[in-house]
Structure 1
Amino acid sequence: MGWDALFASRAQRMRASEIRELLKLLEQPDIISFAGGIPDPALFPDEAFRLAYQAVLAEAGAGVALQYSVSEGFPPLRQWLVGQMAGIGIPCGIDNVMITSGSQQALDYLGKLLLSPNDTALVTWPTYLGAVQAFNAYEPRYDRLTPGLGNVTPAAYADGARQAGGRVKLAYLTPDFANPTGETMDRAARERMLDLADELDIAVIEDSAYQALRYDGEAVPSILALDIARHGDIEKTRTIYCGSFSKTLAPGLRVGWICAAKPVIAKLVLMKQAADLHSPSINQMAMHHVAENAFAAQVVKIRAAYRHRRDRMLAELERHMPEGVTWSRPEGGMFIWLTLPEGMDGAALLARSIETARVAFVPGRAFHADGSGGNTIRLSFSLAGDEAISAGIGRLGRLIAAR
């Protein structure tokens, strides 16, 4: 059967995730992995979820928890999120919030909603690999977004998009503790991003999966909060906020959300109806139960644990990395971004590291839409304990020094 002849043209842009492939290495007990940016399961509030599922089935009954539900999401969970959004300077109503199957589904829906073939998506170099994978299905081109510098004019972006046969439709950013760099946009850069979006008349997708994981420094207002401050009402904004419980409570339940103006939510609800009808009712109900009763304490617990691991990895990098290697110093999140000496390739280093040092990480080229960034790598500190961090960074430093 010649399946390739039947696949749509967009299928040619689908690529396996390098990170997902690397996660298979976790099954090998002698590998020290700094690859997957995944939460530590030892920190999951498993007892709270056990009680939550029992309570949901007892209080609501199987007829509700196991039944079809509304596409927008479980109303009490959405109402709880309205309160959370207000707490970070985003006043909104329940009709501005929709539940998704993790924020990854949100990115897929937004790509489908906003991108036609040959349209342009503005993304940072590097950017979150999962966003590029989600957008790729809708056949865009990418242009480099530099919100901290602002050295590309709106006219230049628009001209490039027209020459490619489309227009600029969106800018995608992770403003807090970005995946993969760990960097945070300051307020001035966020304001410049809104200025650019206003001039180009495009949507801004604010991926805030790590927003709750701040370990030090002052919190910066979200882009949507700044947009509301400019225009006075969420209905007048162009920013679409994507949130997730995956990094705070539990990734396996696949519960995320989108907060945006009602016309955006209304279109996304139609997509949800066509795709999977709704996210699992019982998972949303259990998530609401745990969020109401344990979210604040859980955030305090994981912040302390991940702060310690970040500090340990930064200290080991100072101790073991040879001259010519530099790295980010994130205020939160799960990642540290290393820049290797010029001419050293992260993918080649990974191959040698797996063979000899038994240390895994993600080569940086995977996060660049243009295939650049060969001399960069991403390290995650969220899953490794003290001994693994010390041993792994020591081995990696010696391997780099021996190039």
Structure 2
Amino acid sequence: MSLNQKTSPTTSERLTALFAHRTTRMKASEIRELLKLLDQPDIISFAGGIPDPAYFPREAFAEAMVKATGEQAASVALQYSTSEGYTPLRDWIAGYMSRYGISCSRDNILITAGSQQALDYIGKIFIDPDDTALVTWPTYMGALGAFNAYEPRYDRIDPQTNRPVEAVLADAEEAGGQVKFAYLSPDFANPTGITLSEEQRRTVLARAEALDCAVIEDAAYQELRYRGEVIKPILALELEDKGDIDACRTIYLGSFSKTLSPGLRVGWVVAAKPVISQMVLIKQAGDLQTATINQIAISEVAHSVFDSHVATLREVYGGRLTAMLTALERHMPEGVSWTNPDGGMFVWVTLPTDMDGAELLQEALKANVAFVPGAAFFADGSNRNTLRLNFSMSAAAKIEEGIARLGSVIRSQL
């Protein structure tokens, strides 16, 4: 073959050339890759934001599955069902939401395959290419992954130091689109663990009104409060003002993944009926419905043990948060700072400005400790001197050892 002779593209190369432009915005999740480390017993991993399987309500789920697959019940559990979701589960969720001051009916609720699917639906419904999505800085990388496929432009939502509304709108118009929504997790946010005060939540609502955009309230960690007083969800605050959920612009995303079971993939959306109706159409076209048997199992377990199980998680995870904060105070060198959450699963660490979290991870792995570098949580990949630590998966002694190792690695890089 001569040097200037061209080779024909392979079949796979021809196929990839046909991919839509939006696929260039899709990136592998750093967290999903790091979760593979959990299979290595010598690694102390603070990487995955996952619940401890030792505290799954296994007996309750075993009973629920037996009941669901009984002779009479199996015709429902193993059959197709409505796209909106299993009615007894939606009714339980409506009652649950009322605890937090959110009055809604089952018609305001859609069951999804985890709240991650709901985030994808949000992107599909709202985002045209070059529209603006307002996100916290940093924000949940799974949300960025879900939205990226729809080719948005990102801008910041900051309840404390927002730019003038006119500037945000002007920038969005210059980019060729509109401001469509503000996405945030007000309770124990992933990745920072920060919680917004009621005043800050009202500021978000006022800003959304001024921008005439939706508010996406990701409440995945709402139940995992270990200290302090409960703060009303953004949707509850808006309902106080407007009196009717169908007049509200806030879309609430809930999940059983952090409380009962992540593997069953059951989450939910609470919103005005027109939003739910549009999401139902997307679900019908996408996967028809969330698995019926999974919904039934979640419903049975939620009805029987939800409150007592969550109380156990709060005690266990709250102790682990205390252990991590104590270990950080003991082992981190000068120049390192971290958040002090009241709940959730994460502590956010800021390193000296000249350090890179991704480079630090490579050194930390040599010491058999893992975490998630922080740049992946920023829409622009900035703030590389940050990292996220998870405490829910490790007992206190392992947290102490892992933070001691990490502190030694950081100290060696100063």
**TM-score when normalising by structure 1:** 0.99
Contact between 1:32 and 1:359, CA under 8 Å: does it hold in 2? yes
1:22 and 2:34 equivalent? Answer: yes
Is structure 2 residue 268 aligned with structure 1 residue 251?
no
- The question of 1:189 aligning with 2:200 is answered yes
Matches of 1:61 and 1:90, distance apart in 2: 32
Identify which of 57, 60, 85 aligns with 2:69. 57
Say which of 328, 331, 340 aligns to 1:320. 331
1:28 positional shift: 1.3
Question: Could you say what secondary structure the match of 2:403 adopts?
Answer: helix
User: Is structure 2 residue 379 aligned with structure 1 residue 353?
Assistant: no
Determine the structure 2 residue equivalent to 1:85. 97
Task: Mark the runs of 5 or more structure 2 residues left unpaired by the alignment.
Answer: 1-10
Structure 1 residues without counterparts, runs of 5 or longer = none
Distance 1:34 1:399, change over 3 A: same
CA apart distance, 1:341: 1.1
1:118 is paired with a residue of what secondary structure?
coil
Larger Rg: 2
RMSD: 0.8
Q: Distance between the aligned counterparts of 1:324 and 1:266, measured in 2?
A: 51
After TM superposition, give the deviation of residue 4 of structure 1 in Å.
2.4
> What displacement does 1:56 show?
1.6
Structure 1 match to 2:60: 48
Corresponding residue to 1:333 among 344, 347, 363? 344
Whole-angstrom CA distance in 2 between matches of 1:349 and 1:337: 15
Q: Which one of 372, 377, 399 corresponds to residue 387 of structure 2? A: 377
The aligned runs of 1:162-311 (5 Å cut-off) are 162-311=173-322
Identity among equivalent positions (%) equals: 59
**Would you say 1:392 and 2:402 are equivalent positions?**
yes
Question: Whole-Å Cα distance in 2 between the matches of residues 141 and 60 of structure 1?
Answer: 51
In structure 1, what is the equivalent of residue 123 of structure 2? 111
- 1:334-388 deviation line (CA, Å, top 9, x unaligned): 0000000121110000011112x11000000000001111000000000011221
Contact between 1:89 and 1:221, CA under 8 Å: does it hold in 2? Answer: yes
Aligned residues: 401
| 1:380 partner amino acid | N
CA distance in 1, matches of 2:155, 2:52: 35
Conserved in 2, the CA contact under 8 Å of 1:148 and 1:185?
Answer: no
**2:69 aligns to what SS in structure 1?**
helix
Cα offsets for 1:300-350 (capped at 9, x unmatched)? 000000000000000000000001100001000000000001211100000
Q: Is the 8 A contact 2:154 2:379 kept in 1?
A: yes
**Contact 1:74 1:285 (C-alpha < 8 Å) held by counterparts:** yes
Comparing 151-160 and 42-51, the one that deviates more: 151-160
1:116-160 CA-partner distances (Å, limit 9, x unpaired) = 1110000011000000000001110100111132x3111111111
Aligned partners of 2:410, 2:176: CA distance in 1, in Å? 44
Q: Evaluate the alpha carbon distance shift between residue 98 and residue 392 of structure 1 in structure 2; reply closer, same or farther with a 3 A threshold.
A: same
- Shift of the 60–201 alpha-carbon distance from structure 1 to 2, 3 Å rule, reads farther
> Offset of 1:184 from its aligned partner?
0.2
3-state SS in 1 of match to 2:147 = helix
Amino acid at match of 2:299: H
Cα contact 1:88–1:225 (8 A) shared by 2: yes
> 1: distance between equivalents of 2:158 and 2:33?
29
Aligned-pair distance for 1:60? 4.4
* 2:25 matches 1:10: no
Q: Report if the CA contact (8 A) 1:106-1:242 is conserved.
A: yes
Q: Does 1:364 find its partner at 2:374?
A: yes
Is the Cα contact below 8 Å between 2:67 and 2:73 reproduced in 1? Answer: no
Q: Secondary structure at the match of 2:70?
A: helix
1:59 Cα deviation after fit:
6.9
Distance in 2 (CA, whole Å) between partners of 1:288 and 1:308 is 29
Equivalences for 1:132-147 in 2 at 5 Å? 132-147=144-159
- Separation in 2 of the partners of 1:373 and 1:326? 14
- Label 1:191 to 1:59 Cα distance change in 2 as closer, same or farther (>3 A): farther
Alpha-carbon distance in 2 for matches of 1:221, 1:64: 36
2:235–2:250 Cα contact (<8 Å) kept: yes
Instruction: Give, in whole Å, the separation in 2 of the partners of 1:293 and 1:217.
Output: 27
